Amino acid sequence: MIENHHARVDTDAMLDDLRTLVEIESPSRDLDAIGASAAAVATVIEKRLGGQATLIDSAAGPHVHWSGGGSPRVLVLGHHDTVFPLGTLERRPFRVEGGRAFGPGVFDMLGGLVQAVHGLAALDDLSGVEILVTADEEVGSAASRALIEERARACGHVLVFEGAAEGGGLKTARKGCGSFEVRITGRASHAGLEPEAGVNALVEAAHQVLAVQALSRPDLGTTVSPTVASAGTSDNVIPAQATVWVDVRVESAEEKDRVEAAFAGLTPRLEGAALTVRGGVNRPPLPESASRTLFATARELLPGIEGVAVGGGSDGNFTGALGIPTLDGLGAVGGGAHADHEFLLVDAMAERANLVTGLVGAIRNGRAE
């Protein structure tokens, strides 16, 4: 039995740090905002853990990296970008009310970052611990994936501080996810005078929507969902252009390959129409096998905690797909990710920080192998 010595955490101090991070808005792709957010994250880490956090520049803005020194054993992984545009804070300021903290990004995933840092601060020795907080998780992690995979391979264990599953469960498996863009080129003509002279890109798009929808295999956990479409310029013109965006979720590498091959093989149905397909399943599935050992350790530390397979992706998908032990959903307990009612439960913050302390201690002592 692994004992979980309760971390010496201060919930009020965690809320102070959470307020600091929330009140520096950090929408993805806004480089000025992301830069300010990265500096704030680095300051919180240095204040609580000592040492020096490094800002790693990228096309998406700075990532934050911190090391406790020694041979790397565990990577604490998170992100500081959020989905909310600048100005959201004015409309929805940080507040604590009725046992809940509210504000843009509290659940996804600034609360998790704060809990991780405070849980680590309770350890007497931080050697072997690394923290990586990336700048572009919400937009696909194109500028951070290589760095994530490099540090995960070096550390050998990954703890991901995305928000918990409903009810506080840990995320032990995730679907692979991605998106495709299907562009259709037709030929414009007057819809009243000579409709037959045109090639209707909107009609071709309708054919393609049905074709890609048919790729879904719910029995295998695969969903292929057309989500956004645009076409046309005027109600009396046969449209020459149309675009369809499609969300894809898969549970296995085999389904990833099947769906990607099917998109690559799409062909036009109307004579004279042309297709261009872009995209792919950019986050591979996170298999349950990658979390099995770490989840067992978590259950010894916090008996009764549940493990849940979810459809959404995270940066843990990258590390788990490499076969590196990865446990996700260690962050805030709450809900409303990406929504105006986003919140975290204040009373759960100390318990989750304690879990960080116990997991990192078990990994460094070789008890989570």
Length of the chain: 369
Active-site choice (25, 137, 251, 300): 137
Q: Could you tell me if 236 and 190 are in contact, meaning their C-beta atoms sit under 8 angstroms apart?
A: yes
Written as one string, the DSSP assignment of 226-276 is: EEEEEE-S-TTEE-SEEEEEEEEEESSHHHHHHHHHHHHT---SSTT-EEE
- Position 190, amino acid: H
Active-site choice (81, 162, 260, 328): 81
> Across the beta sheet with 95-97, what order do the strands follow?
95-97, 100-102, 343-345, 334-335
- Where residue 160 falls (left for φ over 0; alpha for ψ -120 to 50; beta otherwise) is beta
Residues with Cβ within 8 Å of 143's Cβ and at least 6 positions away in sequence, in order, are: 58, 59, 60, 135, 136
Q: Could you tell me if 319 and 162 are in contact, meaning their C-beta atoms sit under 8 angstroms apart?
A: no
Measured CA to CA, the distance from residue 109 to residue 89 in angstroms comes to 15
State yes or no: is 30 an active-site residue: no
Comparing CA positions, the residue from 17, 313, 5 lying closest to residue 175 is: 313
- Where residue 69 falls (left for φ over 0; alpha for ψ -120 to 50; beta otherwise) is left
Q: Could you tell me if 169 and 327 are in contact, meaning their C-beta atoms sit under 8 angstroms apart?
A: no
State yes or no: is 137 an active-site residue: yes
Q: Could you tell me if 140 and 29 are in contact, meaning their C-beta atoms sit under 8 angstroms apart?
A: no
Q: Could you tell me if 142 and 315 are in contact, meaning their C-beta atoms sit under 8 angstroms apart?
A: no
Query: Within its chain, how far is the Cα of 344 from the centroid?
Result: 17
The H or E element that residue 35 is part of is: helix 31-49
Give helix 31-49 / helix 11-22 axis angle, nearest 10°: 160
Which residues does the annotation mark as catalytic? 81, 137
